[in-house]
Amino acid sequence: MSDMNYNNCECDQRESCDCDCKCYCECERNRTLAPNRTTLKCGCPGAVTLPLATIAGTNFTVATVTVDTKGYRKPCIKFEFASNIVTTVAVLSLNFQIFKQCKNQLVPIPVGPVWTFSRLVAVTESDSFTFFVCDCDICDAECCTYSVVATVAGVATVGVTSINNATLGAIVVDNATGC
């Protein structure tokens, strides 16, 4: 077949294309993807309103994103959480933490530290609240759902509080080459 052109394809061999531009891969398996790949995943913005006198220990899931690390070697994920917290004559303390739940896992496990938002004086105010956390303890080819959970800390809340435009984004990188 002298009329064949060889191009790159996602396998260990080559892709052949005939004169009619019909291409096929000359291999049985996919090749390893290039190292240092990066993928951006964004969750859908959400909102939660805490009812009056919400008791301590009450949990609210405020944002989620699902990440699939198939094709990555030694993946590492940087999560970025952003929200707008609006208080109306409210006093409260909220703890935020990211949890991950992967296939065949019955209970979500925490990722990173707890982040705290506090309003100690009953005022009407709006604040942006953001943090980021990295998770490099991931198996290759694993699909996990990550959730930001807000927990009422201390005593019951006073006033009305809304967590608006809560968004969780993920930047997935391939660390196959190390630092």
pLDDT tens across the length of the chain (179 residues): 444 444 444 444 455 554 545 555 555 555 555 667 889 999 999 999 998 889 999 999 999 999 998 888 889 999 999 999 999 998 899 999 999 999 888 999 999 999 999 998 988 999 999 999 999 988 777 899 999 999 999 888 888 999 999 999 999 998 876 54
**Residue 82 to residue 45: CA distance in whole angstroms:** 9
Place of tokens 């490099």: 136
Q: What is the DSSP-derived secondary structure letter of residue 14? A: -
Contact call for residues 135 and 112 (beta carbons, < 8 A): yes
| Residues in CB range of 123: below 8 A, 6 or more apart | 87, 89, 90
Under 8 Å between Cβ of 115 and 95: yes
Q: Domain ranges in the chain?
A: 1-31, 33-174
Check: CATH 2.60.120.660 for 33-174? yes
What is the per-residue pLDDT for 22? Answer: 52
